[in-house]
Amino acid sequence: MKSFRERFLVGALLLLITLGVILSRSKVLLLFFMLLLSSLEIYELFACLDPDNKGRNRIITLVGNAFFQIFAYLRLPELLVAGSVAFFMFLFVLSVVHPYREFEDLFLTLFVVIYISFFSAFALLFPAKMPNSLLLVICVSWGTDTMAYLSGYFFGKTPLTAISPKKTREGAVGGLLGALALALLFRPLFFSALTVQQLVFITAVGSVCSQLGDLFASRLKRKMNIKDFGTLLKAHGGIMDRFDSVQFALPAVWLMMRFVMK
C-alpha cells in the first residue's frame, strides 16, 4: 500500500509539473524544462551504460545536448542540422586524434545523443499554430502506459514479447484504445484544430511508437541487468523510466502532425 501511495503521489506531482509547463505556453520555460529533463536522462543513461566511469564523453554529451535543445528552441532547421553535423564530426575527429579515446566512447556518446538529445529536441519544434501539440504527446504516451498497465492487469493473458514478460497483447491493445479514448475525450478542449480522423491517426501512430519506446527501454534494462534507470522518482525509478515512451512518441507525433497539417 505504501509503495502504491508513493508511486501515485510522485506520478501525480510529475504530471502536474509537466502539464503546468506545457499549458503555460512559455517557450523559455519549456526550453529549461527540456534541458533539465534531457540532462538528467543523460546522467542516468551514462551511469547505467558506463558504471565505472571509463568513458570520457559525459561532459561533451551534456554540452552537445544543450546545443541541440537551444537550436531547436530557435526553430532554425539549417542551424540544427549544421550544429548536429559539426558535433558528430567533432566526436569522430576526437576519437582519432586523442590517444586515450576509444571507439566505444564514440559509439556510446552517439547513441545517447541520438536517443536523448535528438529525440527530446522535437518537443521544441512543434508548430506554433498547434500550441497543445505537446499535450497530445503526453496524452498519447502516458495514456498508453496507464491503460496498457490496467488492461494487462485485469485482462492480460497472452505474453507480448520475451523482452518484457509482464507485458501482454491485451495490455498493448488496451493501451492503444485507451490513448484513443483519452485523445477524443479532450479533443473539444485542446485538440479541436484537428479533425477526428487526423486525431485518431496521430494518436494511433503515437501510441504504437510509445509502446515501442517502452519495449526498447525494457530491452536496455534487461541487457544491463537492472530494474530501473535510476532512483530519483522513488517508486517510479528514474527520469528515464517515466519518459522512456515519450522519447519515441515525440518525433513520431511531430512527424504525423507535419504530415496532416499540410
pLDDT at position 76 is: 76
Residue in 153, 151, 140 with CA at minimum distance from that of residue 257:
140
Q: What size, in residues, is the chain? A: 262
Percent residues over pLDDT 90 in the chain:
37
| pLDDT tens readout for residues 203-231 | 999 999 999 999 999 898 888 888 888 87
Write out the H or E segment, with its range, that includes residue 173: helix 169-190
One-letter identity of residue 164: S
**Is 51 a residue whose pLDDT tops 80?**
no
- pLDDT for position 162: 81
Phi, psi of 168 (to 5 degrees): -125, 160
The Cα 147–Cα 88 span in angstroms is 39
Can you list the alpha helix ranges (DSSP code H) found in the chain? 2-24, 27-49, 58-73, 77-97, 103-112, 119-121, 133-155, 169-190, 196-224, 239-261
- Enter the C-alpha cell of residue 83: 550544429
What sign does the dihedral 149-151-155-159 (CA atoms) show? negative
Q: Is the pLDDT of residue 105 over 80?
A: no
Residue bearing cell 494518436: 203
State pLDDT tens for residues 19-30.
Answer: 899 988 899 999
Report the pLDDT value the prediction gives residue 205, as an integer from 0 to 100. Answer: 95
pLDDT at 3: 59
pLDDT at 56: 65
pLDDT value of position 186: 92
Compute the distance between CA of residue 178 and CA of residue 189 in angstroms, rounded to an integer: 18
pLDDT at 260: 81
pLDDT computed for residue 53 by the predictor: 66
- Mean of the pLDDT values across residues 113-122? 92
More confident residue, 75 or 118: 118
Q: What pLDDT, on the 0 to 100 scale, is given for residue 183?
A: 94
Structure confidence at residue 235 (pLDDT): 67
Report the share of the chain in percent with pLDDT over 70: 91
What mean pLDDT do residues 87-94 have?
Answer: 85
Q: Quick one: pLDDT at residue 1?
A: 42
